[in-house]
Copies of this chain bind each other. A is one copy, B any other.
């Protein structure tokens, strides 16, 4: 698979992105947006607030790519130097744009304030440049053609960048780069390590071939990304083959999260759910309720972190805890039926495990987790042995619980 000839060069400007003060989230957001257009990102450069460095990044970008997008360095202070960097790259002067200056004054006046002198800098542009309006803030953007390649300057404040990308910048960049990148299909899987998924994919499609694969480890599992050239048919065929082969592990085709898949099926069935959580201590309930509208299906639950809460709030017999321990198939089943009975829901979902770092024994190592589901049919339980740290083990425990419910609900994802 060859890369499309030319796409976008990204330049992120700011000392704060390189000294740990601020994490760069703009580049990931722009990559996502350009990818959605099926455009390519050719390169990404993060440079400090320095005229020569900004100019060099713009020149390199415009030599290699069909468009350059610069984010940051448009503020009113003396270390905001993207305008100056562009002017040096273009070998043009910066001139005061009187219309822009009037608009800035007007913006401040509407907020009942006088424009600080420092903001005058934001009314400068290259001689041949064109301002890009900013609906969210004071920093105007700038469009400049450098040997025919559009260079788009946008502010680094994420909300302003997003609004200006959507209103203006995407319209400049999209016609030049859209459709050059490979077509793609995403299969979202649970309960398979990345290497096992890759082996299964290689076995199904053969190694090499026309379909490139990417594996993205996400919160609750591994996403398989299939990339094909311009042949939609190849992609459809590979998707169908893999969906058949991997069916029990694929919870969605496309973007839907595991929690959304489960909640939407409950809403469709008009069924209700409650949870009983020990090691996850609320993460499962917190996750299910990310889905807007989940309140019609999700009733609530009990965080039974201490054993006394398992006994008193869920009715787990003290004897059972003494005989089998709180991390056991028996405890998980009793928690699931207990919460289902007490909250009077169609389904009761329970998690109990040893997240670590403490609490392990020889028989029950860190990462051992039981999930159980009580419902209209027989109660089911499943054991996992997670190899992660406390945070990972708890997240994977949520995934194991959600996925047990998903399989009980017999959800079948389909190709678009």
Of B3, B181, B305, which contacts A300 at CB under 8 A? B305
Q: Which residues of B contact A182 (CB under 8 A)?
A: 19
A299 to B312, CA, bound (A): 12
Closest to A217 in B: B22
In angstroms, Cα B298 to Cα A113, docked, is: 49
Of A43, A285, A305, most B-chain CB atoms within 10 Å? A305
Give the 10 A-B CB pairs with smallest separation, nearest first.
A282-B282, A21-B214, A282-B285, A283-B286, A44-B46, A20-B35, A281-B289, A300-B309, A282-B286, A300-B305
CA distance in complex: A182, B290 (Å): 40
A303 touches B281 (CB 8 A): no
Interchain Cβ contacts under 8 Å between A and B, 19 examples:
A3-B15, A3-B48, A18-B41, A18-B42, A20-B31, A21-B215, A21-B216, A24-B28, A43-B47, A43-B53, A281-B288, A281-B298, A285-B305, A289-B394, A292-B390, A299-B309, A300-B302, A300-B305, A302-B303
CB pair A284–B282 under 8 Å, yes or no, is: yes
Q: Mark A20-64, 1 if CB is under 8 A from B, else 0.
A: 111110011001100100001111111110100100100010001
- Residue ID in chain B nearest A50 by CB atoms: B3
Q: Could you tell me the distance between the alpha carbons of A60 and B47 in the complex, rounded to whole angstroms?
A: 12
A interface residues (Cβ-Cβ under 8 A, vs B): 3, 15-24, 27-28, 31-32, 35, 40-48, 50, 53, 56, 60, 64, 181-182, 214-216, 225, 227, 275, 277, 280-290, 292-293, 295, 298-306, 308-309, 312-313, 342-343, 356-359, 390-391, 394
Considering only CB atoms, which chain B residue lies closest to A343 in the complex? B309
- In whole Å, how far is A182's beta carbon from the nearest beta carbon of chain B? 8
Residues of B within 8 A of A390 (CB): 290, 292
Residue of B nearest to A213 (CB): B21
A22 CB contacts on chain B under 8 angstroms: 214, 216
List chain B residues, Cβ under 8 A from A21.
214-216, 225, 227
User: How many subunits of this chain does the assembly comprise?
Assistant: 2
When the two chains form the complex, which single residue of B41, B45, B284, B285 contacts A19, counting CB atoms closer than 8 Å?
B41
Query: Which residues of chain B are near A215, meaning CB under 8 Å?
Result: 21
Least Cβ–Cβ distance between A15 and chain B, in angstroms: 7
Measured CA separation A18–B42 after assembly (Å)? 7
Most buried by B among A19, A277, A288, A308: A19
Contact status A313-B342, CB under 8 Å: yes
User: Chain B residues with Cβ under 8 A from A23's Cβ?
Assistant: 28, 216
A281/B285 in contact, CB under 8 A: yes
Distance of A45 Cα from B23 Cα, bound (Å): 15
Across the interface, do B286 and A181 meet the contact criterion of CB distance under 8 Å?
A: no
Q: Assuming A32-B20, A214-B16, A281-B285, is B299 touching A302 (CB within 8 A)?
A: no
Residues from chain B with a CB closer than 8 A to the CB of A299 are 305-306, 308-309
B300 touches A295 (CB 8 A): no
User: A327 to nearest B CB, angstroms?
Assistant: 13
Q: Is the CB of B282 within 8 A of A277?
A: yes
Query: Bound complex: CA of A23 vs CA of B359, how far in Å?
Result: 34
Inter-chain CA distance A45–B214, complex, in Å, is 22
In angstroms, Cα B225 to Cα A56, docked, is 30
Contact A42 B48 (CB under 8 A): yes
CB distance B43 to A45 under 8 Å? Answer: yes
Q: Are B289 and A286 in contact (CB under 8 A)?
A: no
- A53 to B64, alpha carbons, bound, how many Å? 10
- Are A46's CB and B48's CB within 8 A? no
**B292–A357 CB distance below 8 A:** yes
Partner of A305, one of B20, B227, B289, B292: B289
C-alpha gap A43/B13 in the complex (Å)? 10
Distance of A72 from chain B, by nearest CB (Å): 13
Q: A44 contacts which chain B residues (CB < 8 A)?
A: 17-18, 44-46
Most chain B beta carbons < 10 A, residue from A225, A295, A303: A303
